[in-house]
Structure formats: structure tokens, C-alpha cells
Structure 1
Amino acid sequence: MSLNITLPTAMLFPAILQAAMGLPSRSRMAKLQRLQAYGCFLLISCLSVTLSTSALALTDVEVAHIVRHQLMTLPSNDELPDEAEYEVKVDGTFANHRLKRAYIGLQALKKAIYSDPFNKTGNWVGPDVCAYTGVFCAKALDDKNLDTVAGIDLNHADIAGHLPAELGMLTDLALLHLNSNRFCGIVPKALSRLTIMYEFDISNNRFVGPFPEVVMTWPAVKFIDLRFNNFEGKVPPEIFEKPLDALFLNNNRFVSTIPETIGKSTVSVVTFANNKFEGCIPHSIGKMANLNEILFLNNNLAGCFPPEIGMLTNVTLFDVSSNNFVGSLPETIAGMKNVELLDVSRNKLTGMVPETVCKLPNLSNFTFSGNYFQVEPNACRVPSRKNMVLDDTGNCLADRPQQKSAKECQPVVSRPVDCSKDKCSGGSAPPKPKPSTPKPPVHPPPPPSPVHSPPPPVYSPPPPVYSPPPPVHSPPPPPVHSPPPPVHSPPPPVHSPPPPVHSPPPPVHSPPPPVHSPPPPKSAIVLPPNLGFRYSSPPPPIFPGY
């Protein structure tokens, strides 16, 4: 069963523009390291792509050419000079000055394209930018008499190229969808000028460098999709303080802890899957009142589960599989009254599976295989409802098929983790004893010189006293076509095709622009669980092997 993603916030473009209106600009971010773009040279695995179309995969030389071209064309500080538009010769007349600036930005993007196998930008000629394929216009927020470029949707176009700084001239742009292409290099700092950006989807490309902090400058942004790229380093804690509806970080190279600020997040869907996140799940997670789905799978997270996960009463999908979690499952998980898919498989969990978990009213799939559980209540062996899936294989359960051998179980079950003392679950680990400093040897004073009297008694010095430091005990280690900006009427929900394993899907199928109707009521993002144990996560590439 494939997963569909409904993005009501993107349904009606006028609604997007209205939501973005009146929000103040954020301060400019610190200078990006342009040399990070050289990371594209290292993406050898991305260079051996075999396309299912007539287009050819990029060679190392071609990728190097694209990156070099971006580095040469970016302004010295990655900012776009105010006079940039006056340096470009423009032919033709425009309905207003903003369309002229949009023309300059779009022509710069076309020039930055190395390969356009489907000729999506073939008609990007002349001053009528609103007629360009994938470009959508709407009335300006601050002047209803002006038409402006409000959205660009080039999803699933297999375009190879880079993002020019001139894109920052499209200051009325509220939607940018570049899902499933072959864009390379960095996200230019000049995009911070897009102060009404609402939906930003650059997933399934070859972008590199640190987290694109330009997104932090957009006050109105609600949907950020960065998955399936090669971003690396830390994720800024402030991203979870922005009023987002959805945040997709999965399938990159992020290496950081998950900050406590996650408790301030308004997202209904967030994915950390397939990165290198480490440390604990923060206790503040229980404060995520809007959370509907969260995926931690395949990272380096560790320690015991915080009891606060039981406060996620609206969560329908909770996946923490393929990490290093230890200890027992907290009884508080019974508080997840709406969870449908719960996956804790492939960790180092021990003890008893709580019976209350297996009796959750909406649970349809509970996978706890690949752990070291020793006790399993009958409710977790026999499904209580039709079509309910329970997977207990690969544990240390007596009289159950497909379990670990005693040799595999013994080292772990003989040393159970006490979660009451684990820092991740709220306990305090025993303090590390301080090693004692060795004392120097004690030497006796020299005997006095003889002076016609009996010699003093001779004292032998006591042996040196050394206190070896006591052992230090450490606690246990803790595409996809997105909806185009509507022109006059609300588009239908976005559908994602079946993608690679282990992650949630990006928007698919760009719907036709709408035609003057009131915006529908806003609802939450819906990502129903896949009963086949996997998520239709990546924006499905059009070519195999990507």
C-alpha cells in the first residue's frame, strides 16, 4: 500500500499568500561557506545514475563543471547586489517592475541549467513569464493590481544545474518545488530575500553543505523538505521554534543530537530517519501537541525512552527502529491512544513487553522484533483484531519461533539497564568516582652526625603509599510533483508515488491552478501508516539506482 500525503496548506495558493502576508523579515544569516559546494565532487554514488529516460547520467566532469560555474557566478558574499537588475540587458516590455525582476531571475535559472531532458524550460523565452512552464502568477499581496510570479514547480523534471543568486529577485515567490531533479551545489544565501516563502521542497537532489540556514530567515515558511540530499553537520535548534507544519530531514548526513527545542515545534510530521543523529530522545517531546507522525529510524540514538513519549496522544506513527535504545519499554506508551503503527525493532530492549501496549485501541502494526525481550504477554502474541500485525521475532522469548540463541541473549539479558538511573529516561546516572591522587613516598630525615654519644636508632622508611585510582564506571551508552501555486481555484490533494524504503513521501503530481474560490479550512498533514512495514518516503526518482 503506497502512502499519500495531503498538504491542505498548499492547496490554495491565494491562501498561502495570505498566510504569508504581514510577517516581518528575519535578519540575514551568517556567511555560508561556498567551498562546501565542492562536496558535490565527492558524491560518486550519485554520479553513477542510470536514467530511465534518454538523458544520460552526469559524469564527474559534468558535476565539476556545474559546481565550478555556481562558485564563479555567486557574488563574493553570496548576497545579491541591489543593482543586479540594472546590470542585465532586458528586451521587451513588462506589465510591471516586479515581472521584469522575475524575468531576470528566471533567465538566470535557465542559464544555470546544464541539462533539461524534458525541455521543461524550453518556452522560457520573452517577457510573458506567467506563460512559462512551471511558473505561476498571482496578485501581489501588497497591491492587488499587480501580477507577480508567486510559484515555481519543476518537480520530477530531471533537470541538472545549480541555483543562481538571482533567484532572490523573485521576492513575491511563496512556493518553490524542485523535487526529484539533479540540482547540485549549495542553496545561495541570496534566497533570504524570499521573505514570503511558504513551501520549500528541494528533496531528492544533490545539494551539499551545512543545513541551509537560509530557511531560518523566512518568517512565513510552513513546509520544508530537504530529504534525499547530502546536507551534513548540525541541525540548528531554532528550526524547531519556527511555526512549521512539516519538516523532512531524512536521508542526509546530519550528525547532531536532537535538541530540547523540539518540544516547541508545531509540526504534525517530522522525519529524522537515515541520518547520524545521536544521544537521547529529548524529554520535551511530550509537549509536541500537534505531532501526528515522527520517524527516528536508522540513526545512532541511544539510552532509555523518556516516559514523556506517552504524552503523544495524537501520534499515529512512531518509528524508532534501528537505533541503540536500551532498557525496557516504558508503561507510559499506553498513553499513545491513537497510535496505529509502532515500530521499536532492531534495538537492545530487554525485559517484558507491556501488555497495555498491545491493547492500544487503534494499534494495527506493532513491530518489536530484533531486540532482547524475555517476557511477552499473550495479548502481544495473539492479535486482538483482524488485520492486526504483531512481530516478535528475533528476541529472547521462550517457546516462540525464530528467536535469538541463548548465546546471543546471555550477554545482554544478564546485564539489564536500570532506566531509573539512565539520564535519557529522567534518572540520574551514578556519579563517576574521582580517582585519588597517589601520595609521594615518605622518606625519613637523615640521621644526625655522631657527636661523642651513642648513635641514634636507625629508622627504616616505610614503603611508598600509592592509591591506585578506583575503576570509573560509565553509564551505558546512551516526484514527486508537488502542487503548483494555484492561479484561481484550490488544487486537489497531492499524491506521492511509491519511493525507496524507510522514509515519508514528498508531494507529487502538480495539480492544475485553481479558479477563484474561497480557501478550504486548514487541516493537518496526513501520512497514513504503511501496513507493509515500510514508508513511501523518498520522492520516487524517475531513474533507478538514484
Structure 2
Amino acid sequence: MGLPSGTRMAKLQRWEAFGCFLLISCLLATSALALTDVEVAHIVRRQLMNFPPNDELPDEAEYEVKVNGTFANHRLKRAYIGLQALKKAIYSDPFNKTANWVGPDVCAYTGVFCAKALDDKNVDTVAGIDLNHADIAGHLPAELAMLTDLALFHLNSNRFCGIVPKTLSRLTLMFEFDISNNRFVGPFPEVVLTWPAVKYIDLRFNNFEGKVPPEIFEKPLDALFLNNNRFVSTIPETIGKSTVSVVTFANNKFEGCIPHSIGKMANLNEILFLNNKLAGCFPPEIGMLTNVTLFDVSSNNFVGSLPETIAGMKNVEFLDVSRNKLTGMVPESVCKLPKLSNFTYSGNYFQVEPNTCRLPSRKNIVLDGTDNCLADRPQQKSAKECQPVVSRPVDCSKDKCSRGSSPPKPPTPKPPVHPPPPPSPVPSPPPPVYSPPPPVYSPPPPPVHSPPPPVYSPPPPPPPVHSPPPPVHSPPPPSPVHSPPPPVRSPPPPPKLAIFLPPNLGFDYSSPPPPMFPGY
């Protein structure tokens, strides 16, 4: 690329302060092969120096690279340029994954997969890049945007630093985007909002920060992993519009309430809120999550009592409300849920526990109520610990996080503005009747039994690829441990955006959870 122009140098100066933050963030992360201070500084500086002006990649970029060899088509030539830029942006490749990234045959590169172009079945193009678990150190160059047919991008468990370039908005066919377990920093990468076909986004185990844009929950996603970053945000009401089956907020700094709109998440199977700063009472609408199998809100600041509506979670298997400030009685209906196998409510201030929770009627069910304020039960809080909380219970009907679910009061008729008319033999009409509006919260609907997602079988060649999201594992609470949930299979995208990827990625492929950190 050569030395940066005056424009790029000006941009570099504007990024100087942020570059320092990139350096610090990269140094804080640990890895199997740690980078020195000088190496990380070099990686970050290389990315900042090579950003194009105004974050726009000019079409002339392909002429800035010396190309040797003959290409089958122009798209493979542009892919070659983008891949060479990525190789140049790599500082360390301990397993030599990119050693054979030489020459025009890009379809033979390790971790690069080609397929027929969607708009021309006679043209081969680069459709996927998979460099998972390669322990590569580097950054993402702006020239990656030249791989405009890229639908799958997997960088799970590497040592990439820096930010996600805005130029990637050109990758309009992106279907699966997994950059988890790296050292990316900066705000939420809003470039993902520009991809119309994306179904799977995995950002976990990085250092992204700031707010999560409400628009992300309006995307037709199957899975969204935000956990183990530095997000400081409320959870927007748009979550009710989300089509995800799995979403993780765990181990961030989310605050505020769980929105009432959560009850509209008809496709939801697993949701993880643990270890944030969420507070207030639970909205009654959580009982409308009839398809949820895993619901974890542990280690937050929730107060009040568990709503009786939680009995509407007919399919829940793992329910964890531990380490909050919940009081009152454990609802008996919760311990009777038909598929419940693990209910952890330890570390709260519950005062009453029904016999059903003490002596479950079914075998193979774990109920953990330790560290509460339950009389005649072992391993409970002392009276001194319980008194300040249980003596001032929270009335959830008045709590800002749960109120609004009960019917509002009817309006009071206003007195007439004008004086009444003089007496007349004609009787006056009766005063208007005010009917209260219907309740905002309705009881949970019956469970919907949907058939499993169809197996996508496009005409050969080649078959499609839908990488299931990595299994989600709950961090071990005091005693029970969450077992991994079932994999998520993405339904096929719309016909015009159907993604055709090579068979060697297939349904057996998955991006495993980051191996070097505890938690999800």
C-alpha cells in the first residue's frame, strides 16, 4: 500500500487518542502466544494508517496492488486483492494458515471456500473464509470489502485487534459473521446493520463498548451473541421485534429494566441476562415466553417477587434467578413446570418456600434455594442480613419496570365548561359512559408447537451451509451447572439471497465457544 497520503496522515492523527485505547485493550487480553507492547502498537498503527479517506474504499483500489497471474474472472481477481490485503495485515500466523496464500488460485487457499456466484452460475467466486482457532494476530483491512460475494466470515479464537472497518458494508451477502474471542474494540460495529441477509452475529469475548443500537433487534436474525464485552446500555423495547432463537447479554454492563415487549419474542428458545446491572421487578410478560428452554437472569439487581405468570414458561428446562434481591414466596407453580430440570433461586431473600420446591415430585430435578431467608432450612442468611431487605418489600405494582401491565383506570369525567341550560320540559341526556380500555397485558397464549426448521436442500452443486451457533454454557453457579443447549439451525434466507457455500462446511460445522475464558 506504500506510505499513507496526507489525507491518511490527517486521519491517523484524528485516531491517535483512540489508537492508544486500542493498544491498551489489546494488551489487556490474554492468549496462548502473547504479543509484546511493540507488536501490538505496530498492528494498531498499521490498521489506522491504511484506513481509506472517509472510510470509503475507492474502486481504483484494485489497481494499487501488483497482480501476477491469470484469473478465471474479475471477481476472483478482486478477491485475490482483498485476501492479499488480509495476509499483509497479519502480524503473526503461528500455524501457517495463510502460508499458501500465494498466486491467483484463491480457491485453493487454506480457509478460503469458493462457490458459484448467486447471479451467475457460470462464475466461481469466494463465498466463505474460515480461520477459526488459528491464533492469528493482526487487523482487518478495509480491502476485505472487495470480496463482495462473501457470505461466511469466521474468525473465532484469534488475536485480531482494532476495529471492524465500515467498508465491510459492501458485503451485502453476509450470512454468518463470527469474530468472537478476539481483541476487537470500539463501539458496536454498526456495519452489521447494513447486511440484508445476515442471520448469525457473534461478537462475544471482545472489548466492544457503548450502547447497542435498537435496530439490531429489528434484523431478521436467528442468533445474536453480545456477551462478555463492555456494553453499557439499556435493553431497548425493540427486543420484542426480534426473531432470534438465542440471544446473550451476559457479562456486560446492561442496566435498567427488562422491557415489557419481551413477551412478543415468539421464536425465543434461550436468553441470558446474567451478570449485568439490570434492576427493578420482572415484567409479567416473561410468562408469555412459552418456547423458552433456558432463562438466566442471575447476578443482577432484580427486586420484588417472582411473578405468578412465570408458570407460562411451559418448556423451560433451566431457570436461574439466583444472586438478586428477590423477596416473598417462591411460586409453587414454578416448581411444577413440566420440563423443569434445574431451578436455581439461591442468593436471594425469599421467605416462603412451598413444599413442592422442598420435595419435588419428579426425579432428576435440581432445586437450589440456599442462601435465602427461609425458616427451618439449612444454609440460609442470618436474621441480621435478612431484616433490612424483608422489612421493606418492593411493591411490584408500583415499580416502574413492572407497572403498566394492569389495566389503567378509566378517565374521570370533566365538569361542563358552560353553565347548564335553563329548565326545559325535554330531559337532559344521560352523562357519557366511560369504559376502561382493555388490559395491556393479556394472559400467556397456549404453547405453539412449530415443526422443526426445514433442512435446506438447494439444487446441486453445491449444497448450502448453515453454521449452527456455538453451544451456550452457563457459568457454574454455587451448585448446579447448565448443560449446553441444542444447536441453532438457521432457516434458509429468501430465494433472492440464498447462500450457496461449499459442502465441506456443512451442518456439522460450528463455531465452538471460546476456550480460554469461563462463562458463555
- TM-score, normalized by the shorter chain, greater than 0.5: yes
Range moving further from structure 2, 135-144 or 57-66: 57-66
Measured after TM superposition, the shift of residue 544 of structure 1 is 10
Range moving further from structure 2, 442-451 or 207-216: 442-451
Q: Is the contact made by 1:492 and 1:511 (CA closer than 8 Å) also made in structure 2? A: no
1:457 and 2:428 correspond: no
Measured after TM superposition, the shift of residue 442 of structure 1 is 37
Measured after TM superposition, the shift of residue 383 of structure 1 is 2.4
Measured after TM superposition, the shift of residue 89 of structure 1 is 1.4
Q: Which whole-Å CA distance do the structure 2 matches of 1:99 and 1:390 have between them?
A: 57
Q: Which whole-Å CA distance do the structure 2 matches of 1:484 and 1:160 have between them?
A: 39
Measured after TM superposition, the shift of residue 148 of structure 1 is 0.2
Change (3 A) 1:219 1:494: closer
Q: Is the contact made by 2:463 and 2:502 (CA closer than 8 Å) also made in structure 1? A: no
Give a deviation string over 1:413-470, Cα, whole Å, max 9, x none: 0000000001111259999xx9999999999999999999999999999999999999
Q: Is the contact made by 1:372 and 1:396 (CA closer than 8 Å) also made in structure 2? A: yes
Measured after TM superposition, the shift of residue 78 of structure 1 is 1.6
Change (3 A) 1:413 1:125: same
Range moving further from structure 2, 368-377 or 78-87: 78-87
**Structure-1 residue corresponding to 2:202:** 225
Q: Which whole-Å CA distance do the structure 1 matches of 2:435 and 2:242 have between them?
A: 72
Change (3 A) 1:444 1:106: closer
The runs of 5 or more residues in structure 1 that have no matched partner are 1-20
1:470 and 2:446 correspond: yes
Measured after TM superposition, the shift of residue 35 of structure 1 is 3.0
Q: CA RMSD for the aligned pairs?
A: 13.7
Range moving further from structure 2, 296-305 or 497-506: 497-506
Question: Per the alignment, in what secondary structure is the counterpart of residue 8 of structure 2?
Answer: coil
Q: Which whole-Å CA distance do the structure 2 matches of 1:105 and 1:465 have between them?
A: 52
Give a deviation string over 1:120-155, Cα, whole Å, max 9, x none: 000000000000000000000000000000000000
Measured after TM superposition, the shift of residue 251 of structure 1 is 0.3
Q: Which whole-Å CA distance do the structure 2 matches of 1:229 and 1:140 have between them?
A: 33
Range moving further from structure 2, 443-452 or 165-174: 443-452
Q: Is the contact made by 1:303 and 1:477 (CA closer than 8 Å) also made in structure 2? A: no
Give a deviation string over 1:237-258, Cα, whole Å, max 9, x none: 0000000000000000000100
Question: Per the alignment, in what secondary structure is the counterpart of residue 126 of structure 2?
Answer: strand
Change (3 A) 1:130 1:482: farther
Question: Per the alignment, in what secondary structure is the counterpart of residue 233 of structure 2?
Answer: coil
Range moving further from structure 2, 325-334 or 519-528: 519-528
Give a deviation string over 1:11-48, Cα, whole Å, max 9, x none: xxxxxxxxxx999999999999983994674665753x
Change (3 A) 1:427 1:319: same
Change (3 A) 1:457 1:76: closer
Change (3 A) 1:470 1:390: closer
Q: Is the contact made by 2:336 and 2:356 (CA closer than 8 Å) also made in structure 1? A: yes
Q: Which whole-Å CA distance do the structure 2 matches of 1:404 and 1:251 have between them?
A: 30
Q: Which whole-Å CA distance do the structure 1 matches of 2:447 and 2:416 have between them?
A: 23
**Structure-1 residue corresponding to 2:484:** 511
Q: Is the contact made by 1:346 and 1:370 (CA closer than 8 Å) also made in structure 2? A: yes
Change (3 A) 1:194 1:25: farther
Q: Is the contact made by 2:245 and 2:488 (CA closer than 8 Å) also made in structure 1? A: no
In the alignment of these two chains, the number of paired residues is: 516
Give a deviation string over 1:365-388, Cα, whole Å, max 9, x none: 000000000000011111222221
Change (3 A) 1:186 1:75: same
Relative contact order (C-alpha < 8 Å, sep 6+): which is higher? 1
The runs of 5 or more residues in structure 2 that have no matched partner are none
Q: Which whole-Å CA distance do the structure 1 matches of 2:266 and 2:448 have between them?
A: 41
Change (3 A) 1:359 1:534: farther
Q: Is the contact made by 2:466 and 2:489 (CA closer than 8 Å) also made in structure 1? A: no
Range moving further from structure 2, 22-31 or 215-224: 22-31
Change (3 A) 1:122 1:115: same
Change (3 A) 1:178 1:535: closer
Change (3 A) 1:530 1:258: farther
Change (3 A) 1:202 1:535: closer
Range moving further from structure 2, 526-535 or 160-169: 526-535
Q: Is the contact made by 1:441 and 1:464 (CA closer than 8 Å) also made in structure 2? A: no
Change (3 A) 1:499 1:102: closer
**Structure-1 residue corresponding to 2:460:** 485
> When the two structures are superposed, what TM-score results if normalisation uses the length of structure 2?
0.77
Change (3 A) 1:55 1:437: same
Change (3 A) 1:40 1:533: farther
Change (3 A) 1:221 1:181: same
Looking at CA atoms only, which structure, 1 or 2, has the larger radius of gyration?
1
Change (3 A) 1:376 1:463: closer
Q: Is the contact made by 1:155 and 1:482 (CA closer than 8 Å) also made in structure 2? A: no
Measured after TM superposition, the shift of residue 83 of structure 1 is 1.1
Range moving further from structure 2, 419-428 or 190-199: 419-428
